[in-house]
Copies of this chain bind each other. A is one copy, B any other.
Amino acid sequence: MVANSLRARVRAEMIDEIKAVARRHLATDGANLSLRAVARDLGMASSAIYRYFPSRDDLLTTLILEAYVALGDAVEAADAAVDRDDLRGRWFASCRAARAWALANTAEYALLYGSPVPGYTAPDDTIEPAARPPMTLIGIARDGLATGQLTPPPAADLPQPVQDDLADIAASLAPGMPAALLARGMAGWTQLFGLISFELFGRIKGALPHRDDYFDHQIALMADLVGLPR
């Protein structure tokens, strides 16, 4: 079986090489990835790629899934590196990590959070890793609740239907989380996504030279909204 494993090893290396080249092309050409161009870079015929990936969409899906995992890893690692009781520090670290990853991997971020490709539908494998960054933020709020550092926002403002919907989500994803607090955590995630997208997709332009500070301030506003103590 040595020979077999040799074959398998070569195959695995080939797959890695294809993904690496594809990622490189992604950075320059965006989502319209050309299999033929990748094949050219690898010095092989375009048809040979199909030995490793059944279709172009399949290659893209693999890249997307790995990108989700990479982003999730980055955010969770940043959160884990901070003292558990330093809620605000964890919030900042997580958000900054997401932004840093997006700035370093703009093409892949656009693939994850940009407009979806028309024919393409994301496989179910992506919904779990896609939920990791928002779950990290919500986890910070939940920990604050558990330690008493954080007092839940009033639920009076919450319409009953939303209250019920959020209670269902909390029941399956974050047991014990009050609906009103969950809503604010999700607002924080929405804001984070919006901030990164605006910065990456060029809405802000040169109008805001101190982008790091602006980002921090906007993130701080959301930390206040969630109720993280200073």
Q: Which residues of A contact B (CB under 8 A)?
A: 28-32, 110-111, 113-119, 122, 127, 130, 157-159, 161-162, 164-166, 168-169, 183-184, 186-187, 190-191, 193-195, 197-198, 201-203, 205, 207-210, 213-214, 216-218, 220-222, 225
CB neighbours of A168 from chain B (8 A) = 207
Measured CA separation A228–B94 after assembly (Å): 30
CA distance A201 to B165 in the complex (A): 20
A interface secondary structure, majority: helix
Which of B118, B127, B161, B190 is in CB contact (< 8 Å) with A191?
A: B190
Distance in Å: Cβ of A217 to nearest Cβ of chain B: 5
Q: Considering the chains assembled together, what is the distance between the CA atoms of A168 and B158 in angstroms?
A: 37
User: Smallest distance from the beta carbon of A116 to chain B beta carbons, Å?
Assistant: 6
| Contact between chains at A221 and B184 (CB < 8 Å) | yes
The answer on a CB contact under 8 Å between A118 and B29 is yes
Q: Find the B residue at minimum CB distance from A111.
A: B115
A169 and B207 contact, CB distance less than 8 A: yes
Whole-angstrom distance between the alpha carbons of A159 and B168 in the complex? 39
- Which residues on the B side are within 8 Å of A127 (C-beta)? 205
16 further contact pairs, Cβ within 8 A, besides A162-B217, A191-B194: A30-B116, A110-B116, A115-B201, A122-B202, A127-B205, A130-B203, A162-B213, A162-B214, A164-B210, A165-B208, A166-B208, A183-B214, A183-B217, A187-B221, A190-B218, A225-B225
- Docked Cα-Cα span, A122 to B187, in Å, equals 29
Does B201 lie within 8 Å of A190, measured CB to CB?
Answer: no
Residue of B30, B198, B207 touching A165 (CB-CB under 8 A) = B207
Residue of B nearest to A215 (CB): B162
Q: Please, how many angstroms separate the alpha-carbon atoms of A186 and B29 in the complex?
A: 31
Which chain B positions have C-beta within 8 A of A31?
A: 115, 118
Tell me the bound Cα distance from A84 to B158 in angstroms.
26
